[in-house]
């Protein structure tokens, strides 16, 4: 399904790109969210019938198809809606406003992820989760409509007004492959996912050798702990770091922390620790790099789109966040899978810790170079009041 999800996301991005040329940015929310409300409404209804009247009332085959549809719809929803939200936000925000406001957005966002991660501890029918999701999606439409109705249009602008351009379906690809700045943003936005997935494989392989390990409950604890740390970091540190050190340092901060954490973990592994202690050390690294990604990297990389055109903000960004994000995760999963030795957890851990760490550090090296270039170029664009288009 992971492979199929990439094709579904590609199709979703293609449709999204076409819609960008046809509708105003706020109307994109209404159209796309309404589409997913319909899909998740049908899925939730099927699950409700199966829960209340038994699987026989739906049928095994339709129920299995419902599960596949739910997975693919969720994957595409997460890719498209998050990209759309940030595209809408960066197209309505100036650079100085973003430095003050984006950390606050991330902070509030962590509250939602903490609450949703906590749902793993509650034994509730799946259809009830869909009801909650539907209510939140309807609430999103109401919030956007209220925002558009109350905030003057003159206040919802970016740094510089771009020239009007003709609709171009392939503009996202063209800009990505012809503008070094956007290719640098692509590297900054995706390479960390590959390295993070390799560390995730390390953690899972270590958990597999611990007797009685309940991975499902662990995911709940991991989600709450990671997002809790990200919440504290975003609330207390992100805005301060941005103001004191600037965006260029913030872009380099995350890969530096990631690289130091990986090297420290590898040296700890070389001491031959107990499997349980090694697992918790890897958990700490995973929690640190994930929380830093949420609290520092995410708001900063979104700001990189402010001095760009509408096509870059919506089409190129949609391409990077949706397809690029999924492709990077698939790449990390394939690397982790290739280093995994079926039936031999000890050999898997050894491969992942040695070769996985080496590959990750190589990716981080390229990532640091891209982050340095993007930071320098962004400062020049903002200073000269220019945009990438």
CATH of the domain at 277: 1.20.1250.20
Report how far Cα 341 is from the mean position of its chain's Cα atoms: 29
Q: Which has more pLDDT, 337 or 371?
A: 371
How much of the chain, in percent, has pLDDT values that exceed 70? 93
pLDDT 10s digits, 257-316? 999 999 999 999 999 888 888 888 998 998 898 888 888 888 888 888 888 888 888 888
List, as own/partner pairs, every contact residues 173-181 make where C-beta atoms lie below 8 angstroms and the sequence separation is at least 24, other chains included.
173/319, 175/309, 175/311, 175/312, 175/315, 175/316, 175/388, 175/389, 176/316, 176/319, 176/320, 179/312, 179/388, 180/373, 180/377, 181/308, 181/373, 181/374, 181/377, 181/378, 181/381, 181/388
CA distance 231 to 331: 28
pLDDT 10s digits, 243-274? 788 888 889 999 999 999 999 999 999 998 88
- Of 16, 17, 118, which is closest to residue 77 (Cα–Cα)? 16
What does the block give as tokens for 357?
A: 């760490």
pLDDT of residue 28: 86
- Left, alpha or beta for 343 (phi > 0: left; psi -120 to 50: alpha)? left
Q: Is residue 292 part of a domain?
A: yes
Q: Is residue 178 part of a domain?
A: yes
Cβ atoms 255, 367 nearer than 8 A: yes
* Domain of 367, in residue numbers: 2-383
Q: Is residue 128 part of a domain?
A: yes
pLDDT 10s digits, 3-45? 677 778 778 888 888 888 788 878 888 999 999 999 999 999 9
Q: Is residue 389 part of a domain?
A: no
pLDDT 10s digits, 226-248? 878 888 887 777 777 887 888 88
Q: Is residue 388 part of a domain?
A: no
- Of 106, 83, 92, 108, which is closest to residue 12 (Cα–Cα)? 83
Q: Is residue 22 part of a domain?
A: yes
CA distance 310 to 162: 8
What's the pTM value of the predicted model, to 2 decimals?
Answer: 0.80
pLDDT 10s digits, 173-204? 888 889 999 999 999 998 988 999 899 888 88
pLDDT category at 361 given cuts 50, 70, 90 is: very high
Q: Is residue 107 part of a domain?
A: yes
End-to-end CA distance of the chain: 36
Q: For the chain, how many structural domains are there in total?
A: 1
């Amino acid at each position: 399904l992971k492979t199929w999800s990439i094709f579904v996301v590609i199709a979703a991005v293609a449709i999204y790109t076409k819609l960008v040329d046809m509708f105003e940015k706020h109307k994109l929310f209404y159209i796309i969210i309404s589409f997913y409300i319909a899909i998740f409404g049908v899925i939730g209804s099927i699950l409700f019938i199966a829960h209340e009247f038994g699987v026989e009332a739906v049928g095994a085959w339709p129920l299995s198809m419902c599960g596949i549809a739910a997975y693919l719809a969720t994957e595409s929803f997460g890719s498209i809606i998050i990209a759309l939200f940030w595209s809408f936000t960066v197209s309505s925000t100036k650079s100085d406003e973003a430095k003050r406001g984006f950390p606050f957005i991330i902070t509030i966002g962590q509250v939602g992820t903490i609450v949703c991660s906590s749902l793993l501890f509650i034994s509730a029918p799946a259809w009830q989760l869909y009801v909650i999701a539907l209510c939140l999606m309807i609430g999103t439409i109401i919030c956007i409509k209220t925002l558009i109705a109350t905030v003057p249009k003159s206040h919802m602008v970016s740094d510089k007004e771009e020239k009007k351009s003709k609709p171009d379906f392939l503009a996202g690809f063209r800009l990505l492959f012809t503008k070094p700045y956007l290719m640098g943003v692509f590297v900054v936005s995706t390479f960390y996912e590959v390295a993070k997935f390799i560390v995730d494989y390390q953690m899972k392989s270590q958990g597999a050798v611990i007797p009685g390990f309940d991975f499902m409950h662990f995911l709940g604890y991991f989600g709450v702990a990671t997002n809790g740390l990200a919440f504290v970091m975003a609330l207390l540190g992100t805005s301060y770091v941005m103001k004191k050190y600037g965006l260029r340092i913030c872009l380099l901060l995350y890969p530096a922390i990631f690289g130091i954490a990986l090297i420290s973990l590898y040296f700890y592994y070389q001491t031959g620790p107990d499997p349980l202690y090694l697992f918790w050390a890897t958990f700490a690294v995973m929690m640190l790099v994930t929380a830093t990604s949420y609290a520092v990297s995410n708001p900063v990389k979104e700001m990189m789109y402010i001095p760009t055109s509408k096509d870059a903000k919506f089409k190129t960004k949609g391409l990077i966040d949706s397809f690029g994000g999924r492709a990077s995760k698939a790449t990390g999963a394939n690397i982790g899978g290739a280093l995994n030795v079926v039936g031999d957890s000890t050999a898997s851990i050894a491969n992942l810790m040695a070769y996985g760490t080496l590959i990750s550090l190589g990716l981080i090296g390229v990532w640091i170079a891209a982050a340095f270039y993007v930071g320098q170029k962004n400062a020049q664009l903002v200073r000269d009041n220019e945009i990438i288009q």
